[in-house]
Structure 1
Amino acid sequence: MSTISQIAIVEQHGLTRRGLESLLASSPLLRMVSTTAEPAQLQSRCEPGERLDVIVYGAPAASARSLTETVGALAACGRVLIIADFAGWQLVTDALRAGAFGCVSRQADEDELMRAVETVAQGGLHVAPGLATRLHTELRHPASTARPALARREMEALRLLASGLTHSQIGRRMNLTEATVSTYIKRIRNKLNVGNKADLTRKAIELGLLESTERTGPLSGGGVLGFSPAA
């Protein structure tokens, strides 16, 4: 007989929160016990000795320290599944070390999210396909210093440049002049302390700005890094 998993949602955006609640409530194997906008609201409701099977946490764009501290606090209430952009400073390894059982990109589809929830509910570890290669890179090249503070538009320009686009093509994609794109790239070079496109591409990979499919094609077997608990 299947076990009903106790689940909670922490998501600050109302529309997204209601969408998550509607999706997860559609499963007969999940029972929604709490839906809140802020982590502190869920923490105040945690009963001593009781742990939720899954806490779906929609992480906002904040500092890396803030993310790990929040995940660590929520982990006291149950198994945390993070939904985040994981752009630039947001490290998958940091999230897992802080106590998360799963990481999913905000670009994930409904099926991917449900697979992640199911794995975490069973006590397993789930890292989404688009983040698996990034996790491998982070494990091979652990960050020893703080991540460079690239602005969102600078990260987008770097991603497009590393994907092979010219300054002119980037300008059309981002609705910028070619001169503005050149200024962005110059600023990025200075911040990252690199001198050529090859080094910029390597930095883009290290920062997780390139999905695995952009570099090497789809990961074999769907690319999900999922570890289920031993039977």
Structure 2
Amino acid sequence: MTSALVVDDHPIVYQGCRRILQDMGVDTVLDAGSVVAGYRSFLRRKPDMVIADLTFSGDDLGGLALIRRIRTTNVNARVVVFSMHNDPTVVARALECGALGYVLKDAPPSELMAACERALAGEPHLNHKLALQVALLRSRGDSTPAKDLSEREKQVLSLLARGNTYDQIASKLGISYKTVANASSLMRDKLRVKNLAGLIRFAISNQMDS
């Protein structure tokens, strides 16, 4: 009996994944709509494979934390990321967190099926274009230094990279929402990035979410 867990907060994605998995012969397809529910289901049901998104409502890139926790619990866990994020920095971080495969949501169903089949066999999967982009990213090693950031800004940036919202960061650091928002704005200026996604990409590429 083969089982799989799909962690995604969009029911239509789950339905599509379930059809693909059933066509592959997977006997049991479980679903979870959040990082917390996904991790609990993984602990309780012990599926043979997990298909997980990276972004959840109110929890940017929280899927990275999920992958890390799953792999910490079971080093042999097989996780395939199914995400809209095609940024090689995000792809590289997902692989570093322990994902065995990475498939973009605009890819044909056959690619997700191939990734799942390889994952069940314990083999990695990454299409050629993404693999090349990740390889080039790692070979450059030219990330912008964070030396101009204050310790508080580094704390905020680290928590952002782990998928925390402004409210969650304010609570964890014992500061106001406005302080977190101001820190993020100052960091965007210092690091010359345009938006929150740019800050998160910077943090991930500099491994500030570890």
Structure 2 segments unaligned to the other structure (5+ residues): 147-190, 195-201, 203-210
- The residue number in structure 2 matching 1:120 is 119
Pairwise CA distance, 1:47: 4.1
Pairwise CA distance, 1:8: 1.1
In the comparison of the two structures, how many residue pairs are matched? 147
Q: Give the alignment's TM-score, normalised by structure 1.
A: 0.54
Q: Deviations over 1:172-230 (max 9, x none)?
A: xxxxxxxxxxxxxxxxxx9469xxxxxxxxxxxxx9xxxxxxxxxxxxxxxxxxxxxxx
Pairwise CA distance, 1:60: 1.8
- The residue number in structure 2 matching 1:72 is 68
- The residue number in structure 2 matching 1:135 is 134
Q: Is the 8 A contact 1:8 1:55 kept in 2?
A: yes
Change (3 A) 1:90 1:71: farther
Change (3 A) 1:95 1:120: same
- The residue number in structure 2 matching 1:36 is 32
- The residue number in structure 2 matching 1:82 is 81
Q: Is the 8 A contact 1:81 1:120 kept in 2?
A: yes
1:71 maps to a residue whose letter is I
1:73 maps to a residue whose letter is R
Once residues 27 and 144 of structure 2 are traced to their aligned partners in structure 1, the CA distance between those partners, rounded to angstroms, is 42
Q: Secondary structure at the match of 1:9?
A: strand
- The residue number in structure 2 matching 1:98 is 97
Q: Is the 8 A contact 2:89 2:134 kept in 1?
A: no
2:54 maps to a residue whose letter is A
Once residues 9 and 119 of structure 1 are traced to their aligned partners in structure 2, the CA distance between those partners, rounded to angstroms, is 16
Structure 1 segments unaligned to the other structure (5+ residues): 148-189, 194-206, 208-231
* Residue 103 of structure 2 corresponds to residue 108 of structure 1: no
Q: Is the 8 A contact 1:34 1:42 kept in 2?
A: no
Q: Deviations over 1:98-121 (max 9, x none)?
A: 111111111111111100001111
Once residues 35 and 146 of structure 1 are traced to their aligned partners in structure 2, the CA distance between those partners, rounded to angstroms, is 40
* Residue 41 of structure 2 corresponds to residue 45 of structure 1: yes
Q: Is the 8 A contact 1:5 1:121 kept in 2?
A: no
Change (3 A) 1:71 1:143: farther
Pairwise CA distance, 1:90: 4.9
Identity of aligned residues (%): 18
50, 54, 62: which one pairs with 2:49? 54
Structure holding more helix per residue:
2
1:15 maps to a residue whose letter is I
Change (3 A) 1:89 1:135: closer
Q: Secondary structure at the match of 1:46?
A: helix
Q: Is the 8 A contact 2:5 2:42 kept in 1?
A: no
Q: Is the 8 A contact 2:35 2:63 kept in 1?
A: no
Structure holding more strand per residue:
1
- The residue number in structure 1 matching 2:19 is 22
1:21 maps to a residue whose letter is R
CA RMSD of aligned residues (A): 3.2
Q: Give the alignment's TM-score, normalised by structure 2.
A: 0.59
- The residue number in structure 1 matching 2:7 is 10
Q: Answer with 1 or 2: which has the greater Rg.
A: 1
